[in-house]
């Protein structure tokens, strides 16, 4: 993980263990397919988010996505 400020969580596929990072707020859920659900979002949630998916015998995969929210 390059930027720990945006690191939400790691998910270990083989053991189904979730490790929470410093950006985890309790509103995020990570799934085994690397999708991320953030509940009750506000404009303050705009930014980059990083999760890791770890599989035994494979290299660690890090995914960073950017979320932008706009008012209607």
The reply to whether 13 falls in a domain is yes
For residue 5, give the 3-state DSSP assignment: helix
Distance CA 54, CA 16 (A): 10
The reply to whether 72 falls in a domain is no
Neighbouring C-beta atoms of residue 43, cutoff 10 Å: 9
Is the pLDDT score of 1 beyond 60?
Answer: no
The predicted-structure confidence for 21-57, as pLDDT tens digits, reads as follows 888 889 988 877 777 888 998 888 888 887 777 777 6
Instruction: Specify the number of domains making up the chain.
Output: 1
pLDDT band at 67 (very low <50, low <70, confident <90, very high): confident
- Find the CATH number of the domain harbouring 16: 2.60.40.10
The reply to whether 30 falls in a domain is yes
User: Which residues constitute the domain of residue 19?
Assistant: 4-67
The reply to whether 10 falls in a domain is yes
């Amino acid at each position: 993980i390059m930027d720990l400020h945006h690191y939400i969580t790691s998910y270990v596929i083989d053991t189904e263990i979730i490790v929470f990072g410093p950006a985890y707020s309790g509103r995020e859920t990570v799934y085994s397919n690397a999708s991320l659900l953030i509940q009750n979002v506000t404009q303050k949630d705009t930014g980059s988010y990083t999760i890791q998916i770890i599989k035994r015998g494979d290299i660690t995969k890090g995914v960073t996505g950017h979320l932008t929210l706009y008012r209607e």
